[in-house]
Amino acid sequence: MGAQGLNTKDAIIAYLRSKSTISGDCIIFAPQPSMRYPRVYTTFFKRRDRIHCLAYKLIVGPIRKQLNHTCDNTRCWNIDHMYDGTQKQNCNDTIERSRRIYAEGEDHTSSKLTNEQRSYIVKAYDPLKRNGAALGRMFGISRPAVRYIARRGR
């Protein structure tokens, strides 16, 4: 995605505004709604930049560490919704806002066992009896997987 002649700050901001819509407090860059992080090439910076980074650089100044959103909309370029932060702050924000969900046990999409089956393996596994292969055959998983479950205790 690009536009010719984007070689001044005013031209770039005018281009962003012409291709944007307002949704609540967000200014949404929307020429291609399917793009999660839209980018545009500018001759001003001689590179392709994500829209929100480009707007921040033009209006506020250079990004020191990492640019984080407060509105969780990746296509928003409202400067009031961004702050110069760290990766750790960004990860903490996603967890606080429930955007990153860690599925475990039978809730995980690739889980082959129920929680009851896991509990049975933890109780029944005995490395001295070498019954990992038998438990694995019983539940359709490998012997190392049985040992891993038993050692983790879940």
Average pLDDT of span 88-102: 82
- Residue in the block written with tokens 């009851």: 116
What's residue 50's pLDDT? 84
Compute the distance between CA of residue 9 and CA of residue 51 in angstroms, rounded to an integer: 13
Alpha helices of 1-154 — where are they, by DSSP H?
9-18, 51-59, 87-96, 115-124, 132-139, 143-152
Q: What is the pLDDT of residue 97?
A: 84
- Tens-digit pLDDT profile for residues 24-74: 999 988 776 666 777 777 777 788 888 888 889 889 988 888 889 888 888
| Location of structure tokens 């709604």 | 33
pLDDT band at 78 (very low <50, low <70, confident <90, very high): very high
φ/ψ of residue 46, rounded to 5: 55, 45
Over residues 101-141, the pLDDT tens digits come to: 677 777 777 888 888 999 999 999 988 888 999 999 999 99
70: number of Cβ within 10 Å: 15
Sorted by sequence, the CB contacts under 8 Å of residue 131 that are 6+ apart come out as 124, 125
What is the model's pLDDT at position 1? Answer: 44
Domain boundaries in the chain? 9-96, 105-152
